[in-house]
Structure 1
């Protein structure tokens, strides 16, 4: 476990880091998207004559003057994560499926010229009434996931199990659609050189992005090169290829000049995905002593007719608490929405809010401490998780009970009053709340390259991306530790589709997704570093100009950057210089142990929250927050702490501020800007304390690290809601928790 600064911290802090939109080229043109202003219908006419005549305009593309594309993208995860069609791909494709759909593109010499010309479009529609309300469509919800019902012997149904329980608690928990709002908007700069395309594009997976772009453009994959050394946040929103990137490349090919498209903040709300809206009805029954007897979890998610993901919140019940009777159902309502996609902790974030709120309500009903109730029902063997796992498997390493105990002591949980509204500080009501979270973990094949260089440095490279998470620092730290050299001597390479990538699974090439980067990359670095050391020794004993030439490999050892044999000691940089070799090492695919796993892998967190609610205005404020994480081995404490604190802030935003407001009558996003779509600022957040147990999970990998990027988001909204209940006695089940709901 290390605790080092980010290796790319200086270039980011000084502005030297170049993001996608920072790239400029001679003759660069700019694109501006034109979006539909109806929620459903057909385009009857488009008058773009004035736009074509506008100053600086190079080209105008519409459904009547389309770009040649090969859509939809059907490879990899694109059909699951993104839109089911590409815009402007067929002349005459005039259908509009949602408000804010791309219906035109202007290419001009400057961004301002493109924007001004786009405003000159005159579009007529035959409009239809969109279906844009999840609540109104719930009666028509369709199954999206195989219903699961596990019953104890003699129990005829889940409702019977609930009725036989001493206490039953729960309710309907809802939350609106949400948007990623990464600091860096989606941006692409496309440059063609003959048949070869170079893309400076904001993406989580440069390799998969290159493959998807090649499919959309109808070119060979080897001719598409994606470069993204720095990405300014993503949260799942940049996992797949979205239409603006495809349009930039297609327009650059048509116009014969480099083209840049930077999606405006308002446009991001419709053209690059969102988290679906969710309604969840959860009921938990328990015996008098708190032993959970039954869990019924019925969830409904919005489903965009334009494509994308569906939330399965009920799946959280499969790794949450033990019960002899379990019912889980996930249904979807098809809506005329923009496409949905994954967003930090998909399924787990909304599901944990419902599950952990219901557990808090059960604790109140039973008169039990919320921690005591959770300890009583600690789950050791997870339920089957179809389709990926049909067996009930024990957790490989679980110390959530320790998280509860450590957190309770550090937070002063014993000072909590169970009766709501009894702790005051002047005009402020003070409440304490807690919750738990579970984040699935896994390990899959991962490609890595480690090369010793003649200049005394080591390069470690893989075709993933650093979204601000600290992966570049993790690679450097693990490589340095594996080779016994200073971190400053390691140069970590990321954000390039030509770097090593493995392609044996549907998830291959998607880089930094699913909190899997450290858990997969760290063991790969260690394994390939060992292979690189062997290659270096082999080079030393076989090269004619090597001081070790002809020696027995068993007598040559590598220690802390130096090759030693008898009284000879030569640093690897000096050796490669003597042999005239620029670099030497290994490029391999690290793979987990073959065969089915015997365990369920997961990371765990216990959240503790203190809120202050004004007794007159009902304004809620966070005053303290503590997260205790059991996430396996922690590779670098500083970046890991930032990940947990950042994801907790994400959850706080969901609890108190965030929500996309869709006008039911029009399908329009009413708050598509950062003035009206509220996210937490420093003023909204206390110091978020993070503590790691640091128990390596060696059943998952020799390094023992598991994912943490999404962990803090899971359950944190519930901790806030539970604390607000403890302060006020008001249970709010509809996020975000706003003043009007607390006053109602």
Structure 2
């Protein structure tokens, strides 16, 4: 191809629609006869609703219905066990039990948003309350089950002759042991959760944000008691997800079932406070990391234990050692032991780098403490413990250039000018320090399908039902399609975010790009083959009777017998509107390798010696994420991940009231996230090294497939280790080690 958009600085194909307001998000859709819903939530953390007074709400202007738990008019159903990771394990408004503070106990439907909201404020409830289970120390811990990746979180690997991890640690020259605590944290997507449900006969179209559209639609069909083909999900533009839009929460099925009962479209938009409570959070947890090493910093033992909140209603079983302590460093003795504590709290969910971000904060902080204890430079310490194979499986990495990330990052950041002694750099009232940390994230391919259709106007449509959470999915699909077909980007139309399209890859686990791109390549190959076959067999074609294999396709044109014609012209000549093909894959990759992306963070902070205020002044990140599809979007994703890490380190916390189970900081006035004034320019460098295994043939049993571009996911790796880099820089500036996030001024005074 003369010009390929792969790896270049490409504007988002959906950018103009977004900045002009033409892109429609879930709450922007309207339907004839539409009415509005508003939910009422519980004010206790555990117990039973004994009475709900709806009289005043029913008498309010414009009110059509008030549904109160339990309400027989709303026919909702449990889901099959295999969907319980994607749907809460109770059925909303079907019983009087209260499982957490903020659970939906009633819903008002009215002619306007304001009428529904005002009437909902008039609904009152009385309860038979019980003390909720809220503390990690109140309940006995239970071992975790398998993580979402299929790898058990409970791992013990011991060298020959070593009886236990404790014995391995006792034999080490230097031992570092540290405890860490992380409070409840939230996704805080820009777009609040919203649903519009429109029934036409027995088929419902749902407009709502979803990260896994097929699972969302299947969960909805089971909640409503209808066949899967009776639910269509439209999720074209999503204003952020970060894990909060993986689960089908209670609000969407309630809107859909109310629309069915009323016979009118129903729109339900959660308030910001309701979003904090009803759509998941990152669990609070405690971690203990123990590192044992020789005097020159070579690891001999790594132990990583944790106690994690597991809400009874639905939970992501967070295992913070997964892809951190069990992945990053070479050690002959390894022990990871996550324990889950069942609590009466709102449902939790994966939050951007769910295991890896908290796990890396603990591990990479402990590694910095080991560097201090041994006197080894933090970068050199990590290089001395670099591993060429997975510490757990022994498999080689499909591709790994973490050592280059360290070297390039150190050079770009100016790490050689670092002062190892804390409080050595002072500028007036500011103490200045630097820190660094490693980053790692799994690379997983999920099942998906892609259809490509060549049209008679010389354009192509690439269709797959993945969703774009603002991550650049629209543009990724267009770029990969243009590259595979050898045509300009402007001639490719992406279609995504609609379950009527071929099944798309989940927008989770940094997997959408490297699950989708290989299938776009496959679909392009098959579509071109179909075009050649049409050219060779249609009587109106100038190549009728030719051997299809003798036709040559280049950059949107067929060539043979001294003739050349664009595919659009050929389709016009033979009277066809288009030709298409669909490619599908079950996911996965060759099992003889381990698949991860890697990176290194370098951070400078200044801390006010009198107030404890911390400001991040410089940040450099170098990432090894395989082939880069869109350099601009890739850099943006890494910058966003680093900003997540800065928020994790310095700002984000939702205090939990242990007596009531209430999350006390559930507004944007109380729950602090970074704003522009908190963030410096972030230097991001992408190695752009194609993964040689993921560029190989796809398919089973030796079947020759096409070759992908060697891309891996990168949406979350910026969030892994970046908080530790901030914390390590704070220590270098102040000499104070803070292990409980966020690192607030009171902890530095």
Q: TM-score, normalised by structure 1?
A: 0.95
> Does 2:741 correspond to 1:740?
no
Is the contact made by 2:183 and 2:283 (CA closer than 8 Å) also made in structure 1? yes
SS of 2:525's partner is helix
Paired with 1:680 and 1:72, the residues of 2 have a C-alpha distance of 39
1:676-703 CA distances to partner (integer Å, 9 max, x unpaired)? 1001111110111110111111212431
Paired with 1:80 and 1:510, the residues of 2 have a C-alpha distance of 17
Alignment-derived partner of residue 57 in structure 1: 63
1:230-249 CA distances to partner (integer Å, 9 max, x unpaired)? 11100011112111110010
> Does 2:412 correspond to 1:396?
no
Alignment-derived partner of residue 549 in structure 1: 544
State which of 321, 331, 346 in structure 1 corresponds to 2:354.
346
Paired with 2:87 and 2:652, the residues of 1 have a C-alpha distance of 22
Paired with 2:630 and 2:70, the residues of 1 have a C-alpha distance of 54
Shift of 1:591: 5.2
Alignment-derived partner of residue 355 in structure 1: 363
Within 5 Å, give how 1:636-655 maps onto structure 2. Answer: 636-655=630-649
State which of 227, 237, 240 in structure 1 corresponds to 2:234.
227
Alignment-derived partner of residue 504 in structure 1: none
Is the contact made by 1:607 and 1:626 (CA closer than 8 Å) also made in structure 2? yes
After TM superposition, the structure 1 stretch with the greater mean CA deviation from structure 2, 560-569 or 703-712, is 560-569
> Does 2:138 correspond to 1:137?
yes
Shift of 1:165: 0.9
Is the contact made by 1:546 and 1:578 (CA closer than 8 Å) also made in structure 2? yes
Alignment-derived partner of residue 369 in structure 1: 377
Within 5 Å, give how 1:164-183 maps onto structure 2. Answer: 164-183=171-190
Alignment-derived partner of residue 255 in structure 1: 262
State which of 515, 518, 538 in structure 1 corresponds to 2:513.
518
State which of 429, 440, 443 in structure 1 corresponds to 2:442.
440
Quickly say closer, same or farther: Cα 1:593–1:620, change in 2 above 3 A.
closer
Paired with 1:510 and 1:265, the residues of 2 have a C-alpha distance of 29
1:55-106 CA distances to partner (integer Å, 9 max, x unpaired)? 1111111113234334332365x412442112113xxx11111100000011
Within 5 Å, give how 1:589-604 maps onto structure 2. Answer: 589-590=584-585, 597-604=591-598
> Does 2:319 correspond to 1:312?
yes
C-alpha RMSD over aligned residues: 1.4
Paired with 2:478 and 2:208, the residues of 1 have a C-alpha distance of 24
SS of 2:321's partner is helix
Paired with 2:128 and 2:587, the residues of 1 have a C-alpha distance of 55
Quickly say closer, same or farther: Cα 1:709–1:189, change in 2 above 3 A.
same
Which structure 1 residue ranges, 5 or more long, are not aligned?
385-390, 502-508
Paired with 1:270 and 1:550, the residues of 2 have a C-alpha distance of 66
> Does 2:41 correspond to 1:40?
no
Alignment-derived partner of residue 387 in structure 1: none
Shift of 1:176: 0.6
State which of 687, 691, 695 in structure 2 corresponds to 1:697.
691
Quickly say closer, same or farther: Cα 1:447–1:561, change in 2 above 3 A.
same
Is the contact made by 1:396 and 1:697 (CA closer than 8 Å) also made in structure 2? yes
Paired with 2:652 and 2:311, the residues of 1 have a C-alpha distance of 20
Within 5 Å, give how 1:209-358 maps onto structure 2. Answer: 209-315=216-322, 316-358=324-366
Q: TM-score, normalised by structure 2?
A: 0.95
Is the contact made by 1:322 and 1:377 (CA closer than 8 Å) also made in structure 2? yes
Is the contact made by 2:395 and 2:593 (CA closer than 8 Å) also made in structure 1? yes
Paired with 2:217 and 2:588, the residues of 1 have a C-alpha distance of 29
Is the contact made by 2:51 and 2:126 (CA closer than 8 Å) also made in structure 1? yes
Counting matched residue pairs gives 723
State which of 1, 6, 13 in structure 2 corresponds to 1:7.
13
> Does 2:663 correspond to 1:658?
no
Shift of 1:661: 1.2
SS of 1:455's partner is coil
> Does 2:387 correspond to 1:379?
yes
SS of 1:410's partner is helix
Is the contact made by 1:204 and 1:510 (CA closer than 8 Å) also made in structure 2? no
Is the contact made by 1:71 and 1:216 (CA closer than 8 Å) also made in structure 2? yes
Paired with 1:537 and 1:176, the residues of 2 have a C-alpha distance of 59
Is the contact made by 2:156 and 2:335 (CA closer than 8 Å) also made in structure 1? yes
Quickly say closer, same or farther: Cα 1:75–1:185, change in 2 above 3 A.
farther
1:551-578 CA distances to partner (integer Å, 9 max, x unpaired)? 2213311111111112211111111122
Alignment-derived partner of residue 156 in structure 1: 163
Which structure 2 residue ranges, 5 or more long, are not aligned?
1-6, 146-151, 696-707
Quickly say closer, same or farther: Cα 1:310–1:592, change in 2 above 3 A.
closer
SS of 2:84's partner is helix
SS of 1:212's partner is helix
Shift of 1:276: 0.7
Alignment-derived partner of residue 490 in structure 2: 488
Is the contact made by 1:67 and 1:88 (CA closer than 8 Å) also made in structure 2? no
After TM superposition, the structure 1 stretch with the greater mean CA deviation from structure 2, 554-563 or 709-718, is 554-563
After TM superposition, the structure 1 stretch with the greater mean CA deviation from structure 2, 563-572 or 19-28, is 563-572
Is the contact made by 1:170 and 1:361 (CA closer than 8 Å) also made in structure 2? no
Alignment-derived partner of residue 117 in structure 1: 119
